[in-house]
Chains A and B, each alone.
Chain A
Amino acid sequence: MPTLTIDGRQIDSPDGSTVIQAAETLGIFIPRYCYHPGLSIAGNCRICLIEVEKNPKLQIACNTPVADGMVVHTSSVKADEGRRAVLEFLLANHPLDCPVCDQSGECDLQNFYMNFGLYDPRFREQKIKKKKAVAVGPHVMLDQERCILCSRCVRFTDEISKTGEFGIFNRGDRAEVGLYPGQQLDNPYSGNVVDICPVGALTDRDFRFKARVWYLSSAPTVCNGCAQGCNVDVHYVLDRPHLNDGARILRVKPRYNADVNQWWMCDEGRYGFGWIDKGRLTKVRRQGAGATWEQAVAGITEELTKVGERDPERGTCLRLGVIASPQLTNEELFLIREIFQRALGARVTASVPMPAGNSDNFLIRADKNPNTHGAALIGLTDATAPDAAAIVAETLEGQLDALWVFGYDLTKLVADEDLQRLSRSLRLFVFSGTNDNPTAGCSHWALPTAAYLEKEGTFVNAHGRVQRIGRAFPPLSDSREDWRVLLEIAGRLNLGFAWRSPEEIFQALARSVTPFAGLTYERIGLHGASLMTDASVAEVAVT
């Protein structure tokens, strides 16, 4: 491994790595526009100039391979001067329309100008006019005048989405980025180009003019759109409801995770957050009328205590069915198993029919549930478990007396009249979920629960990686986290659980479900952790 010196500090950097990477390891940030770690090297913006001793010319850090004994200065007078010159060129034809630019506040032209520029502008010629505010696809807006031709977007559509929409046409200062006339930027990953565009040339149509980025708060979580579990940051505003018609979430951005999604995410996940602020269940309802959580918990528990008892009229035992969901967290699924399956002997499943969605061999998975894998490990989808259709059929046949549905809309399985009939024949019919649907309407108790962003917990993605979903902001209105509701009911049922939080539930889960062995919230951290493989499970068993 070559050893080099950057700004007086020594570092060993692997063969084939570049100065920009080595510097980053040392915590030295070299400005960059065209360089992006997820894309090939273009070396065209020239902002990353550094001085390498014994080399009379400034070099670009992004394409300078590390070499043993190399001595690099990232902010010598010469390097600083070089960078300032490059920045002045980049801004020469730039429209400087920051007041009306969404990128303002997270723009690398602004940032680097403040950090590395600050020259007296000399450009007094007429600026080149190009096209502004062109919708190039369903999600992305292009402003050619703001573009600095770094070619990141072109490399993205060539190398990552492999759809090849972007090109840079013409040459010299007539060069402009764009699409072939008549084509659309409509690939399933199009939103990523907005993230990687270092300036305000590519902006998000969905986010357009909604808020200044400095009003946004950010929280790390995991996308719940499919079984890939791309790591994301949600950007939201709680204290300025006027900005976005009261909706809290303004946008979702991918968060780097080397093992899951690198820098990327799909458009469906990125733009599919509307349900979190719209059409939510906000109040507890009993038979359609308002009720309180206390009434609900008391009423439901009262019915649940009867489960397993003999019904004096019919002469059979009262039986409970539970349709859980692979949208729930491991912690919640574990509580469902402990309370309903183990303590109350209920028929429990988390296998709900879901038509396979679109998929590809990059990020998008056909399984649109974030936690199918977790539900399986906890034993709610295995061969011994019934599936949702079986439970509904059993209910309609009168074999079940109480039913709890988590989020799922039964009209996907049965006709409306059957749902009505089912509702009439059941002694207890609970629906808990985030959004309103016909099943909620027919239930005896409709419980508003928290969306995944509003609660702590973990999902297991399709590759067996456990990831925390974090908690961006509190549950909307009267809604409550499923785990909290379940814990309360467990308390009322005197099941003797000592857990008070998802983290404590997870510890119990890790003790009980082997593949989770040894994991803690801390170990899962921000980037998730792999479940025990079969081999490591065997190892644990031996020791």
Chain B
Amino acid sequence: MNLTALEPQALEIIKRYDEPRAAMLPLLWLVQTNVGHIPSEAECWVGGLLGVALSHVREVVSFYSMFRTREAGRHELRVCTSLPCMLRGAGDVLAQIEERLHIRPRETTPDGELTLTEVECLCACEIAPAGQLDEQFVGPLDRTTIDAIESDAVAPYTGSARIDEAHPFVSTDGPVISTRFRNTGGTWWDAYIADGGYVAARKALSSMTSSQIVDEVSKANLRGLGGAGFPTGRKWSFIPKASLKPRYLVVNADEGEPGTFKDRYILERDPHALLEGMIIAAYAIGSHKAYVYIRGEYFRPAERFARAVAEAYERGWLGKNIQGRGFDLDVVIHRGAGAYICGEETALLTSIEGGKGFPKLKPPFPAISGLFQCPTIVNNVETLACVPFILREGADRFAALGTPKQGGTRLFSLCGRVNRPGLYEAPVGITLRELIDRHAQGVRRGHTLKAVIPGGISAKVLTAEEIDVAMDFDSLQAAGTMAGSGGVIVMDDSASMIEALQSAAKFFAHESCGQCSPCREGTGWIHRIMRRIARGEGRLHDLDDLLAIARAMEGKTICVFADAAAWPVQSYITKFRAEFEEHITTRRGAETTHVDEARACPP
């Protein structure tokens, strides 16, 4: 291993960042890409280059799931066992793969070709049960794809065989975000310009003041589509006007909420829309540097976005003195490395700063003191991708698409046991029933709808009777759940709520950052009880214990992850208690698949 050979590249990377330490993740990626894993010499090397103690380099390496300290196979197959994939048979798929390859997760085939990894949601739920072979998403994993994987990966690599890409349903009719999604290979410069691209950014830079832009976005009723639904214009206005510190725009492309896969399509198929939205936002908040945090598993999305960035630099839409308007903006693409919590905006900032993805204490809030202790605005990919439309077509038009308090359309990710999983753009006021029945074509013939999680796994579950609810933030909140990320996970009558909750519990136990005691201990505790119940070793009072633990976790932690971990417990048990009790009293569970893994909880 020759680390010195990597040094010029490393120094180039360090230069991109405002603080050397922030180059931690990219340098670790550089090592892993070149060496295959991160040996301890490399940890020393990275620590030395960045002036970071070895213990802290190791903290980072051990925090992110994608980094490995030991040699692995020439290929890695990641198999998702989060709820949306479980609902489509991931448990059996994993068992099949194990049987075919004669290895268990975290093991490598004896010939050193393939390492099998069990992972939480890859956000490829539209092709569930999904996996990822090295950088490529594969799915639905069925006999044919598994065959292909075996010949593609396990047989010595020849560089020829390819696994066919699936073509799930994706909206292409807009009106706001999906209009260019028909370009499956990406919408590049000419096509984007031909479709009215950069008109909005030109308008902003040449004829609008910062506060006019903020007003326009506020008038459009654009709400944060990352999950919290905070009014975007208002968020931008929190940037202190007088501060002399640099300001940062940070784009949250760490899409990780199980059941959600919208940002990936924007990055892959319409990256310039995001970039144009970023230019407008950066101009509005007076930022000259934007970081785009793309989740580690999103290799191709990151490549495509990088291509758009390069095009924009070439065409004078990034860099110094953009379009001669005297406004500068640089963009840095930062890659995650496998940690759901980095989607939480302050964890995302700590992660860019080169640390473990620990959410930060608030106060201070990012708009006052965020990235590198400077005023920072974090926005979701989709939120920013809506901005060019608003400036080009007018705030009123955008607002009119939605409800009185939330403008526009949004991308709904539909997955689970529906006939046509996919990505659907629809007005935010559409009902859940319409989304499921009309767009996703309902549940399989012979089955009835049982339950729906309307906004990513963190949202409280709705029963089949509760789906006549509009999908905007306020309506879903009034219905006792949340719109979240727009990830709709559908369960029909063949789904077991016990398995569903066990899977959710596994996810939260695996993804808690572990700093707050209620969350760290609570998620693990819930998971262990759920595992036991699923195995048929439950006791009736476990249900009350679970509710009490969930209640005790709520509202006591640094970020709302702990609350999000509590909500499924509360809603599944409250709404489906009879099913849980029956499962426990009849001691069912012997049939549980082996996906009652040991990974989130070591023995």
Contacts and interface: CB of A to CB of B under 8 A. Distances in A.
A166 B59 CA distance: 10
Contact of A41 (B56, B341, B361, B518): B361
B53 A65 contact: no
Contacts of B514: 149, 168, 170-175
B509 A58 contact: no
B339 interface: yes
Contact of B555 (A58, A122, A170, A179): A58
A88 interface: yes
A49 interface: yes
A165 B53 contact: yes
B556 interface: yes
B520 A175 contact: yes
A128 B517 contact: no
Interface string B586-603: 000000000000001110
A58 B556 contact: yes
A183 B59 CA distance: 14
A46 B557 contact: yes
A104 interface: no
Contacts of B366: none
A96 to B, nearest CB: 14
A44 B517 contact: yes
B521 A183 contact: no
A43 B558 contact: yes
Nearest to B514: A175
Q: Which secondary structure characterizes the binding site on chain A?
A: loop
Nearest to A126: B528
A158 B55 CA distance: 10
A90 B59 contact: no
B59 A168 contact: yes
B556 A128 contact: no
B59 A125 contact: no
Contacts of A45: 516-517
Nearest to A83: B556
B601 A128 contact: yes
B283 interface: no
Interface in B437-491: none
B63 interface: yes
Nearest to B527: A173
Contacts of B548: 122
Contact of B522 (A89, A125, A128, A170): A89
Nearest to A87: B517
B133 interface: no
Contacts of B602: 128-129, 174
Size range of the chain A interface in the assembly = 35 or more
Nearest to B44: A180
B58 A167 contact: yes
Interface centre among B40, B356, B517, B558 (most CB of A within 10 A): B517
B524 interface: yes
Given A46-B517, A46-B556, A173 B59 contact: no
A82 interface: yes
A179 B57 CA distance: 11
A86 B549 CA distance: 10
A86 B518 contact: yes
A210 B517 CA distance: 32
A19 B375 CA distance: 25
Given A43-B361, A44-B515, A172 B520 contact: yes
Contact of B520 (A57, A65, A149): A149
B511 interface: yes
Interface string A117-148: 00000110110110000000000000000001
A170 to B, nearest CB: 5
A43 B557 CA distance: 9
A125 B339 CA distance: 26
Interface centre among B55, B356, B363, B558 (most CB of A within 10 A): B55
A169 B55 CA distance: 9
B27 to A, nearest CB: 17
A90 B558 CA distance: 16
Given A85-B518, A181-B40, A169 B555 contact: no
B521 A93 contact: yes
A164 interface: yes
Contacts of B512: 171-173
Interface string B28-48: 000000000000100100000
B361 A171 contact: no
B332 interface: no
Given A167-B58, A172-B524, A89 B601 contact: no
A196 interface: no
B529 A125 contact: yes
A51 to B, nearest CB: 11
B58 A148 contact: no
Interface string B342-378: 0000000000000010000101000000000000000
B552 interface: yes
A318 B250 CA distance: 87
Interface in A57-108: 57-58, 63, 65, 82, 85-86, 88-90, 92-93
A164 B518 contact: no
A1 B59 CA distance: 40
B40 A85 contact: no
A88 B521 CA distance: 9
B552 A88 contact: yes
Interface string B548-563: 1100110111100000
A165 B520 contact: no
Interface in A146-165: 148-149, 151, 157-158, 163-165
A93 B528 CA distance: 12
Contacts of A65: 363
Contacts of A173: 509, 512, 514, 520-521, 523-524, 601
A415 to B, nearest CB: 48
Given A44-B515, A149-B514, A169 B59 contact: yes
B521 A90 contact: yes
A179 B556 CA distance: 29
A149 B54 CA distance: 19
A257 to B, nearest CB: 29
Interface string B536-579: 00000000010011001101111000000000000000000000
Contact of B552 (A42, A89, A172): A89
A183 B44 CA distance: 12
Nearest to A88: B552
B356 A44 contact: no
Given A46-B517, A86-B518, A149-B520, A57 B555 contact: yes
Interface string B494-536: 0000000000000001111111111011111100110010000
Interface centre among B529, B552, B556 (most CB of A within 10 A): B556
B151 interface: no
21 contacts: A42-B361, A46-B556, A46-B557, A89-B521, A90-B517, A92-B521, A122-B548, A122-B549, A123-B525, A125-B525, A126-B528, A149-B514, A158-B53, A164-B52, A164-B55, A166-B55, A169-B59, A172-B520, A172-B600, A175-B514, A175-B515
Interface of B: 40, 43, 52-59, 62-63, 339, 341, 356, 361, 363, 509-518, 520-525, 528-529, 532, 545, 548-549, 552-553, 555-558, 600-602
Given A45-B517, A90-B517, A169-B63, 20 more contacts: A49-B556, A58-B556, A85-B552, A89-B517, A89-B520, A89-B521, A125-B525, A149-B520, A151-B515, A163-B53, A164-B55, A169-B59, A170-B62, A171-B62, A171-B511, A173-B509, A173-B514, A173-B521, A180-B54, A183-B55
